[in-house]
Structure formats: C-alpha cells, structure tokens
C-alpha cells in the first residue's frame, strides 16, 4: 500500500462515527454545530462545564454525568435541558458536566457528522500550569487545504492562552501537547527518567501520576485511535488500577515489573507516532487480550464509584 493509499484509508476511518461518537437519534441536533474550526470550538465550550476546572460544586446526580461515554447520551441530556440549537447560549444548568475528553468527543463527533475526518489524542498538557503536566485529551481534524492533521484543544478559549495557540497545537515533537505515546518513548529512550514522569498525571497532589500512569495512558490512546474513545478513568486488560489505602484514600501505587506489558506498550507507542500508516497493526495490537477493552471495562470514577461496565449498554 502506498503512503497515499494509507492516508486515504485513515481519512475514511476517521470520517466515520464510532459507537462512542455516533449521535444516534440526535444527528440533526449535532448538525446544528458549525464546521468552522473556531466557531465549533466556541460552541462546544458552551455545552460542557468541567467538573473540576470550573470551580463549581455539583450534586451527585449532576456529577454522575462525568461518566457519560456516548455522544448520543450527551446530546439527549443537552436536548432535555434546552431544546435550542447547540450554538445557542445556555446557562451552566443546561450544560453537561464533564472533562477534557467530553469537550473533545463532542468536537470530534460534530466534525465526523459533517464528513470531516477527526479523532481524539490522549496525553498530557504541560501548558495548563508551569510545574506539572496534567492528563488531557485534544482533538485532531483533517485540514484538506493544508493536507495535514491540525491539533485543537477544544476545551480552552484561545483568547485566554496567548503563549500557546490552542487552536493549532502542532503535531510534531515540538507540540506543547504531549501524546502519551511520545512521552512513553522518550522515557524508554532514556530522555526522561521515572522520576521525571512523576510530573505527569492528574495532579501533583494525588498519586495518580508517574510511570505506571503514563503507561496506562498509552493503552487509552491506543483505544481512542482504534474506535474506543473511553473515559479517562475506565480500566481494562493489563492497565494498572489506582491504589487505595486502609483509610480509603488514594495511595502510592506499587507496580511490579512487567516486561511483556512494557513491550506491548512500546509497540503501541511506536505505531501511534504515525497512526495513518499503521491502522491494521494498531487494530491487531488493540485486540491483544492485555490491551483490548472488549475483554471488560471497570469504571473507577472520580465521583467515588467503581463498577463494571457493559459497553453494549449505551446509556
């Protein structure tokens, strides 16, 4: 297969909905969102309120929305609260409580609904604060005029980020967004130590960071690129779960050596550097029993609920 053929196959794949981005009965509502990149990002920012970054406190029934996996479910909730087009201004009470993954998934779903190839990338954003790289999910859309992928942080308003162009983050090694795959390979090549990786995770104040966490996120990135845009707190296969101490609080994770898993993640990371050229290999690797979410998913939600999830139950 030529490079052009591989690129064409990739664009066809990422132009099509996955079960997670499929709007179901709400396709017409999703199509009210614009395709202009800046207008789309602005509209999506008006649909989701971040469960942490907003600084707001939500009652349990609203906080449960952070576990919404399916765009169809998200759109149903948005329509129930306000049936107006998704571009119309809405107050916080009519928004969806979510996180970076949800801003991105709605952004990607809207582009796909309009026939524009788009996908989500999972990794870390050192630009969110100066001393720590928070876990993050951003979108990539295909720009036909430039004949390249354009990486967009759909959660952030460009007007607030003068030093970082969040509407075009770049996709090369110099991008301020660090995909989990590239970060892992930097570690494996010796450019980043295990101690360095302690600066990457959910928060410097939580033990959800470090080598095991970055390795987990390569598995999540692989899933997102192969049609399973799962929650950031979903666990499956050989992913390492967070540890809980005797007091019920999160504890430091003691992860035994697992050379086989490291090798699988090495291979995934290498392929993810250029997914367009390796779709079949990525699909095969994602079907490995230690990496495949279809073997069973456990949701370890930040709202304090841990439960097995049936991915066939789209709620």
Report the length, in residues, of the chain.
315
* 46 belongs to a structural domain: yes
Task: Give the DSSP H/E element, type plus range, for residue 306.
Answer: strand 306-309
* 173 belongs to a structural domain: yes
Q: Residue 314 pLDDT > 80, yes or no?
A: no
Q: Residue 300 pLDDT > 80, yes or no?
A: yes
- Name the nearest CA neighbour of 69 among 35, 99, 42: 99
* Mean pLDDT in residue range 174-203: 98
pLDDT at residue number 315: 66
Rounded to an integer, what distance in angstroms lies between the CA atom of residue 3 and that of residue 8?
9
pLDDT at residue number 60: 96
**What does the pLDDT look like over 77-86, one tens digit per residue?**
999 999 999 9
* 286 belongs to a structural domain: yes
* 231 belongs to a structural domain: yes
pTM of the predicted model over 0.95: yes
Structural domain range at position 67: 3-309
Q: Where are the alpha helices (DSSP H) in the chain?
A: 3-15, 27-30, 37-45, 60-63, 71-81, 100-113, 180-188, 194-197, 211-225, 259-272, 279-286
**What does the pLDDT look like over 93-147, one tens digit per residue?**
999 999 999 999 999 999 999 999 999 999 999 999 999 999 999 999 999 999 9
Task: Give the DSSP H/E element, type plus range, for residue 151.
Answer: strand 148-152
Q: pLDDT over 70 for what percent of the chain?
A: 100
> How confident is the prediction for the chain on average, in pLDDT?
96
* 150 belongs to a structural domain: yes
**What does the pLDDT look like over 228-264, one tens digit per residue?**
999 999 999 999 999 998 888 999 999 999 999 999 9
**What does the pLDDT look like over 20-67, one tens digit per residue?**
999 999 999 999 999 999 999 999 999 999 999 999 999 999 999 999
* 315 belongs to a structural domain: no
Q: Residue 178 pLDDT > 70, yes or no?
A: yes
> What's the structural domain count of the chain?
1
* 10 belongs to a structural domain: yes
Would you say 237 and 291 are in contact if contact means Cβ atoms under 8 Å apart?
yes
- Name the nearest CA neighbour of 195 among 213, 173, 214, 210: 210
Sign for the pseudo-dihedral over CA of 112, 116, 122, 125: negative
Q: Residue 313 pLDDT > 90, yes or no?
A: no
* 314 belongs to a structural domain: no
């Amino acid at each position: 297969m030529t490079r052009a053929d591989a690129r064409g196959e990739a664009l066809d794949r990422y132009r099509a909905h996955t079960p997670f981005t499929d709007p179901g009965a709400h396709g017409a509502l999703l199509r009210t969102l614009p395709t202009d990149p800046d207008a789309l990002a602005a509209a999506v920012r008006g649909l989701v309120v971040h469960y942490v970054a907003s600084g707001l406190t939500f009652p349990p029934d609203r906080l449960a929305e952070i576990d919404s996996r399916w765009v169809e479910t998200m759109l149903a909730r948005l329509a129930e609260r306000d049936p107006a087009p998704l571009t119309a201004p809405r107050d916080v009470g009519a928004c969806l409580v979510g996180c970076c993954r949800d801003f991105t998934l709605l952004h990607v779903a809207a582009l796909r609904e309009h026939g524009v190839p788009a996908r989500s990338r999972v990794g870390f954003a050192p630009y969110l604060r100066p001393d720590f790289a928070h876990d993050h999910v951003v979108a990539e859309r295909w720009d036909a005029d430039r004949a390249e992928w354009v990486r967009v942080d759909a959660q952030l308003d460009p007007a607030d980020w003068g030093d970082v162009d969040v509407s075009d983050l770049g996709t090369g090694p110099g991008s301020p967004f660090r995909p989990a795959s590239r970060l892992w390979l930097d570690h494996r090549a010796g450019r980043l130590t295990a101690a360095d990786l302690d600066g990457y995770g959910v928060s410097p104040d939580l033990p959800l960071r470090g080598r095991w966490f970055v390795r987990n996120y390569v598995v999540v990135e692989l899933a997102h690129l192969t049609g399973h845009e799962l929650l950031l707190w979903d666990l499956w296969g050989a992913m390492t779960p967070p540890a809980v101490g005797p007091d019920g609080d999160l504890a430091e994770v003691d992860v035994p050596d697992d050379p086989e898993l490291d090798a699988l993640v090495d291979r995934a990371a290498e392929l993810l550097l250029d997914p367009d050229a390796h779709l079949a290999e990525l699909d095969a690797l994602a079907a490995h029993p230690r990496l495949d979410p279809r073997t069973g998913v456990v949701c370890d939600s930040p709202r304090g609920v841990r439960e097995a999830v049936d991915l066939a139950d789209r709620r």
